[in-house]
Structure 1
Amino acid sequence: MFSVTEVVTIARPRSDVFAYLTDAGRRPEWDDTVISEALTSPPPVGVGSTIHSRMRVMGREVDFDWRVTEYVPPGRMAIVSTKGTFPTSLLFELTDDGAATRVSATIDGEPSGMLRLVEPMIEDTIRSTLATGLGRVRQILESR
């Protein structure tokens, strides 16, 4: 099992950052691994909502389904995979940092079978992708 946390500070109000990060349709804008993502349950988003993602993982396209397990605007959202390559969870925690917003994103994963052999590579890739993606969120939101 691995746990990856990346942090970024974005010069935008917390409500704006939360709305952007938790909008499934926006994720392909900032996360290079996401081909498409959409809410698959009726809006609005809340605990129990479901999301479907088509992603590029280790050179191939895979589908992930997610369930929202925590949703506390504008400070916290957690999702867990219900279908995918291996069990995965994602947690966004947002706090005020003066007039800016501090975003902490944590991805936990538990590869099994043959994927355990390449777990360090998976962890490094996720860390790099998450850091790059959060940097892109900062660029997008601060340019608005």
Structure 2
Amino acid sequence: MVDVACSIVIQRPRAVVAGYAADPSNAPSWYSNIDSAVHRGGPPLGAGTLVDFGARFMGRELKYTYEFVDWVPGRRLVMRTAQGPFPMQTTYTWEDEGAATRMVLANTGEPAGFSKVAGFLMDPMMRRAMGKDLGKLKALLESGTADR
């Protein structure tokens, strides 16, 4: 079982951070391993939204679909996939921290196949990757680059 969570404080209002991070079309700009994210059916986002992702992980190309299973705009997003070698649940939460926002990114899942064999390596690899991704999100949002 993999259960990893990372958090970061971003010096932007919660509505800005949550709005940007929850929009699937922005995922390739801040997730280093995500190459594409296509929202099926278009906006609005909500429970039942399906997003097709193309990614790279551990040297492998992956295609999978996440379903939004819990959506509280500006507060929480929970999405799940049962596909691929690593069925996973990803949760974003956002909380006010003064004028800034604390974002928590959490991933839980049960590796299968090759990923199961490498399972003991997954926690530290995921924690490092998630920390870098949150750092990139922070840099984009605090620099105003995401506003363009």
Which TM-score bucket, shorter chain as reference?
A: over 0.9
Partner of 1:44: 44
**1:1-144 matches, cutoff 5 A:** 1-144=1-144
Of 7-16 and 110-119, more deviation after overlay is shown by 110-119
Mapped contact 1:64–1:85 kept (Cα < 8 A): no
Q: Distance in 2 between matches of 1:16 and 1:76?
A: 14
**1:112 Cα deviation after fit:** 2.1
Between the aligned partners of 2:48 and 2:135, the Cα distance in structure 1 is: 29
Letter of the 1:4 counterpart: V
For residues 124 and 26 of structure 1, what CA distance do their matches in structure 2 show? 25
Structure 1 stretches of 4+ with a deviation exceeding 4 A read none
Identity between Structure 1 and Structure 2 (%):
30
Question: Helix, strand or coil: the match of 1:37?
Answer: strand
- Superposition TM-score, scaled by structure 1 size: 0.95
Where 2:118 maps in the other structure, the secondary structure is: helix
Query: TM-score, structure 2 length as denominator?
Result: 0.93
CA RMSD of aligned residues (A): 1.1
How many pairs were matched up? 144
Contact 2:85 2:115 in 1 (8 A): no
Is the contact between residue 85 and residue 112 of structure 2 (CA under 8 Å) also seen in structure 1? no
